Structure 1
């Protein structure tokens, strides 16, 4: 059969995927190894895969052109999906979980805070926070939990750059967000079939964490209301002003603030954790980072203009995010029937674009499992893959609003740490990924800290 009838029938065809008899294996992977679930099926079945688990069917999309279709070209048809829907219990209708006109209003309110000129003016604040971190690490005699340190740093930067507030007194924030992620992923993989009142440890911890986050958000709003900033450009000031203009409730402000606190620190902290792990695994990369930092920075703190000079450091950050994208899964729900890659996707389907597998696609990346910052050599832009083969910050209208600040922060941390320190994993530490809302190192990352000398290459000669 040829012609329009054949094309219509082809468009109604379901994508390939694992058979029903594989349900128990898929369920096990869903609970214990979500990265393998995505990677194995993409490798076996191709760039569009239908994964049926119980009553649910999930459509895995793993090609740049198809990612562009879902995230950009037909973005209006795809609302936030699995994982983020469950996270709404704690985050409410914040920028991360909302859709439609609510999301558009929130984006318009917050967007000015992330304008390039304003972010560039925050470089001195970021550098001072990183400088304090490096000095603190240099004083450690024994192992230090580097993920804890990175969480503290990123929260401190977020507070000073985006909120014009000090978050140092809120030590529970990091733990509370971990509990939120754990519960959101638990509900996602159990299809929300476990009643929320069941007193499982995970659910009890989540309720405590949710209350803690709401309390902190309310305190920050109250502090700003009591001490307003005239013509304030920070997020708190803009949320309060927008709430007054639009009649938005205090709950809406709280939702947005909690979302910002999570998204604004978690992704950068995760990226830095993976960066220190990979740098430790590749001493030659550590040496190049040290050399570049000494030659570019000397003894001073970095400035925004240094992002153009720290080319290898930027490449390292980009390659880290290729292998371990902090947002490893971009879940969506189809609002209407669609066709993806020639296959029919019914309305209501869970459609997931997975940067973790996309960034390892052998058609677009040579030796994709290898850590090679040279892929992002600024002198060889022609060597880069297609735009949508690399999406660590998402793509389309919902492209991450804080990408510039996150990259600047990560580059400053790696440059200043490489200049003055050498971080080595504790012997015997097995580093494994944990795929939650973000892609983090499972069980933390203890490292020992060793001081280095700032010796320029010319001086050494």
Structure 2
């Protein structure tokens, strides 16, 4: 065991590597991966890894040897204390997991609503060019709010939009001012955080006062309130907050990347539309028009609870997998060591941070043939080794809603291709932006409805 730190760039004598990293994050990581190998130090506290085995090791040891990165202003407690603080969320995960599985009635029941939300948002553009990411944030916000809160979701998507805007400055910056400094971004964050927490707490208390949660549950709030032993209002609110934030920005970033690929690849879009039309035709009773559909392509019987749409839309699912490989929204994943722990040839200290880099792992020719080529045909034949494909993370903190997200992304890719001509002349120039979540920067597109 070599106790020394992994090698890494020395950086500026005062600023270290912060300025170079902020100027070009992807270029910085590529350059130093080439110069130092799969593990390299950023400074005395932070280590990067592009080794899938180490990434998998760290992610699967989370809650034991590591904890997740704290949220802004989460406090300066020791990593061990942070692990203890995660216990309520881990319990909430166990309560929620059956409800958000791919074939769970609550998830399949959202299929039709998700497609309706997607149509509503894109139809409002009336074929005019618009920035795609805000549209997809609207779609994701409305969908996750309904999944969590059902009929009580009104106003919550707007709060999610405000939270997203308040968090962006922290995701873009490589440093964080102390909470006691009344900077504009700090004040804005606390204001939005307080308003959102108060709203969610009010909804939790009102639902609890209304009596026992319905069986079967209508939404995730019902699931949490039905847990035994009972969860406190604070624990339920915190769980809702986590699901809402996780189901907002990340899916929106992935949807934006899906739109970019559809805009750049008309032949692929046509193939997706054909796949969707075939499914629609095969499942249309008597070959007639879908009841109530008015001629508009529908999500198909396989997407309204009778089966998994991914099994019936293999090309759409392959497109989504390839988008998530080349442009994973969670392009880095941070874990903090709770104690001294072995990390390859090195020994990490308590409080050291490990940043695994799925963006580079997913583009490494050792694990992926022609890694920079967008090739949906590699799926589903490919069986990625542990740690080589991490769009949803791994281990005990793997994204709780991974199955539901993959389901909705597959539906979206298929439905947009079937329902719209996507025009984005500058799609190729909309390179991914490397900040909190990876998404095409400034992508603008026009969604022209296909004539029925």
Calculate the TM-score normalised by the size of structure 1: 0.82
Distance 1:452 1:98, change over 3 A: farther
Q: CA deviation at 1:180?
A: 4.1
Q: CA deviation at 1:209?
A: 1.7
- Report the counterpart of residue 205 of structure 1 in structure 2: 188
Q: CA deviation at 1:222?
A: 3.5
Query: 1:216 is paired with a residue of what secondary structure?
Result: helix
1:433 aligns with 2:437: no
2:224 is aligned, of 239, 243, 247, to 239
Range with greater deviation from structure 2 (325-334 or 309-318):
325-334
- Report the counterpart of residue 353 of structure 2 in structure 1: 350
Q: CA deviation at 1:446?
A: 2.6
1:112 aligns with 2:103: no
Query: 2:7 is paired with a residue of what secondary structure?
Result: coil
Q: CA deviation at 1:22?
A: 7.4
Q: CA deviation at 1:316?
A: 0.6
- Report the counterpart of residue 330 of structure 2 in structure 1: 327
CA distance in 2, matches of 1:279, 1:310: 16
- Report the counterpart of residue 11 of structure 1 in structure 2: 2
Distance 1:158 1:25, change over 3 A: same
Q: CA deviation at 1:181?
A: 2.5
CA distance in 1, matches of 2:435, 2:241: 18
The question of whether the paired residues in 1 share the 8 Å contact of 2:65 and 2:339 is answered with yes
Range with greater deviation from structure 2 (15-24 or 266-275):
15-24
Calculate the TM-score normalised by the size of structure 2: 0.84
Q: CA deviation at 1:76?
A: 1.2
Q: Which runs of 4+ in 1 moved over 4 A?
A: 20-25, 96-100, 426-430
- Report the counterpart of residue 290 of structure 2 in structure 1: none
Q: CA deviation at 1:165?
A: 3.2
- Report the counterpart of residue 26 of structure 1 in structure 2: 17
- 1:139-288 correspondence to structure 2 within 5 Å: 140-185=126-171, 189-190=174-175, 192=176, 194-228=177-211, 229-231=213-215, 233=217, 234-242=219-227, 245-246=229-230, 248=232, 250-288=233-271
Distance 1:137 1:104, change over 3 A: closer
- Paired residues in the alignment total 423
Query: 2:351 is paired with a residue of what secondary structure?
Result: coil
Query: 1:245 is paired with a residue of what secondary structure?
Result: coil
Range with greater deviation from structure 2 (364-373 or 322-331):
364-373
CA distance in 2, matches of 1:200, 1:317: 40
Query: 1:17 is paired with a residue of what secondary structure?
Result: coil
1:386 aligns with 2:385: yes
Unaligned runs of 5+ in 1: 1-9, 90-95, 455-461
Query: 1:447 is paired with a residue of what secondary structure?
Result: strand
Query: 1:387 is paired with a residue of what secondary structure?
Result: coil
- Report the counterpart of residue 417 of structure 1 in structure 2: 416
Q: CA deviation at 1:256?
A: 1.8
- Report the counterpart of residue 36 of structure 2 in structure 1: 45
Query: 2:237 is paired with a residue of what secondary structure?
Result: helix
CA distance in 2, matches of 1:453, 1:33: 43
CA distance in 2, matches of 1:358, 1:85: 25
- 1:449-460 correspondence to structure 2 within 5 Å: 449-453=447-451
Query: 2:110 is paired with a residue of what secondary structure?
Result: helix
The question of whether the paired residues in 1 share the 8 Å contact of 2:420 and 2:450 is answered with yes
Deviation track 1:91-117 (CA, whole Å, cap 9, x = no partner) reads xxxxx9975533432222322322344
CA distance in 1, matches of 2:136, 2:83: 25
Q: CA deviation at 1:132?
A: 4.6
Query: 2:151 is paired with a residue of what secondary structure?
Result: coil
CA distance in 1, matches of 2:299, 2:131: 24
Range with greater deviation from structure 2 (126-135 or 418-427):
126-135
The question of whether the paired residues in 2 share the 8 Å contact of 1:80 and 1:99 is answered with no
- Report the counterpart of residue 301 of structure 1 in structure 2: 299
Q: CA deviation at 1:262?
A: 0.6
Q: CA deviation at 1:79?
A: 0.9
Deviation track 1:193-239 (CA, whole Å, cap 9, x = no partner) reads x2334343322321222123113312322442344432353321233
Query: 1:60 is paired with a residue of what secondary structure?
Result: strand
